């Protein structure tokens, strides 16, 4: 039986003796990473996404206040809790840190019991927040992430695609003639169908980064990070075929069938910000995040409409007709 994964902590201090002291206290319970400068801390925080950051205030070039400001201003790292490490003993300094978003303070020299307790408290609060967040973004019928959760995931993956110059694809998925299905078999069987299809979609998307959610009603949406047009179409076709071949179980009727239509949109770093692409897909400047994400979604929705117009049970790429 696999042991539960340890929580991770990033220790940031320009003094190696302080880092070693904290590592000795924490490494038996946590996975520990270290950084000896503010800039290095920000880079590692974005790359590693630790559960907690222990951040020294007094550092050369970039102090702890500047580091926490950068972390809290980034969509990628803004929710990582921070405990300040300080030798300062001033109410005004503590207020400043808390105002910038720190969760707690640990004073130097370090007390073993105090470090463990304050870190434990922050980790427990983090887990409680994560549990509440998970509950708020789960669709109760299908157990998939709901629309709100998907939009949060899209925002973070969007930023990652921009930073790493990677393609990103989205699939809009609609159950064909679902109203007719409900009329024929009843709403209870319709719910069973949606639950069955949700499970099938999730099981088909096997890469760790791929992500499927319920958009609403009989619509689902899938996000495929680091996936170009060809890869996205292959995934869409596999989803479509798996649904077409499946039997939807029921206790009252013979197994029923359903099909899906899929609209695909892809943005790649080769055409970010250009006027258009004759080969299809969006040419969106990722820097204008909000409107660009809306365009990205709209393109997939347009492609879904085209798939329905062409007879349903098929996948279609979005084609920028202005290209």
**Catalytic residues, which ones?**
218
Cα 31 off chain centre by: 22
Alpha-carbon distance 320 to 315, whole Å? 16
- Inter-CA distances, 37 with 26, 40, 48, 84, 222, Å: 20, 5, 16, 14, 38
Q: Radius of gyration over alpha carbons of the chain, in Å? A: 24
CB 240 within 8 A of CB 262: yes
- Residue 273 neighbours by CB under 8 Å, 6+ apart: 283, 284, 285, 287
Contact at 8 Å (CB) between 197 and 141?
no
Regarding beta strands 104-107 and 82-86, do their DSSP bridges make them parallel or antiparallel, or are they unpaired? parallel
């Amino acid at each position: 039986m696999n042991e539960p994964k340890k929580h991770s902590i990033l220790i940031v201090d320009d003094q190696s003796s302080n880092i070693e002291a904290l590592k000795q206290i924490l490494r038996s319970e946590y996975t520990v990473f270290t950084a000896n400068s503010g800039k290095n801390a920000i880079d590692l925080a974005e790359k590693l996404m630790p559960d907690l950051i222990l951040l020294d205030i007094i550092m050369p070039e970039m102090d702890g206040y500047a580091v926490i400001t950068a972390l809290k201003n980034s969509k990628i790292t803004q929710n990582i809790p921070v405990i300040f490490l300080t030798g300062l003993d001033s109410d005004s300094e503590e207020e400043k840190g808390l105002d910038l978003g720190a969760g707690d303070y640990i004073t130097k020299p370090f007390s073993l019991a105090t470090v463990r307790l304050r870190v434990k408290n922050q980790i427990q609060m983090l887990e409680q927040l994560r549990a509440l967040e998970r509950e708020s973004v789960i669709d109760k019928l299908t157990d998939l992430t709901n629309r709100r959760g998907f939009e949060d995931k899209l925002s973070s993956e969007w930023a990652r695609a921009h930073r790493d110059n990677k393609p990103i694809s989205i699939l809009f998925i609609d159950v064909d003639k679902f109203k007719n299905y409900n009329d024929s078999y009843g709403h209870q069987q319709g719910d069973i169908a949606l639950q069955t299809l949700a499970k099938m979609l999730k099981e088909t998307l096997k890469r760790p980064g791929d992500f499927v959610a319920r958009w609403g009603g009989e619509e689902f949406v899938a996000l495929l990070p680091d996936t170009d047009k060809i890869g996205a179409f292959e995934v869409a076709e596999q989803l479509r075929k798996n649904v077409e071949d499946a039997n939807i179980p029921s206790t009252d009727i013979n197994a029923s069938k359903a099909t899906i239509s899929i609209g695909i949109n892809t943005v790649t770093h080769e055409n970010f910000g250009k006027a258009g692409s004759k080969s299809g897909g969006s040419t969106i400047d990722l820097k204008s995040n909000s409107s660009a994400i809306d365009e990205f979604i709209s393109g997939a929705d347009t492609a879904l409409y085209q798939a329905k117009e062409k007879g349903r049970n098929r996948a279609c790429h979005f084609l920028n007709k202005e290209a």
